[in-house]
Amino acid sequence: MDYKKVKTDKVAITRNLRDFDESTENIYESIAILAKRANQIGKDLKEELNRKIEEFSTTGDNLEEVFENREQIEIAKFYERLPKPTLLAIQEFLEDEIYYRNPAKEVANNKIS
């Protein structure tokens, strides 16, 4: 997913608690889903940033020379301005773009049937 194109808030806002427990019927389960998705998004963004920064890395082992690479700084600033992974996960959850399942509920439903 291209997180750079997602339209979401860049700052945390107050949200209605009932928006989060509609699909799962359990606010704690919803929060767990959001946390796991935010971790996935954060990991993806970090890997992408590291790949882009590695393109500009130097192979020299001279510790005395420290210089600023303008491209690395611009890339880092761009990623800092992106919405935080938690906000992206919330947006995906509210738009029903996250696939999740709870095996414990599936087993309980099968026993009842």
pLDDT of residue 76: 86
Tell me the whole-structure pTM to 2 decimals: 0.78
Q: How many degrees, rounded to 5, is the angle at CA 52 between CA 49 and CA 56?
A: 130
Q: Which residue type does 39 have? A: N
Domain boundaries, the chain: 17-57+68-112
Radius of gyration of the chain (CA): 20
Alpha-carbon gap, residue 34 to 30, rounded angstroms = 6
pLDDT > 90: what percent of the chain?
28
Higher pLDDT, 38 or 3: 38
Q: Which residue type does 55 have? A: E
Q: Is the pLDDT of residue 62 over 60?
A: no
Structure-token pair, residue 51 = 């790949």
Higher pLDDT, 110 or 65: 110
Per-residue pLDDT, averaged over 80-107, amounts to 88
| Cβ-contact 7, 70 below 8 angstroms | no
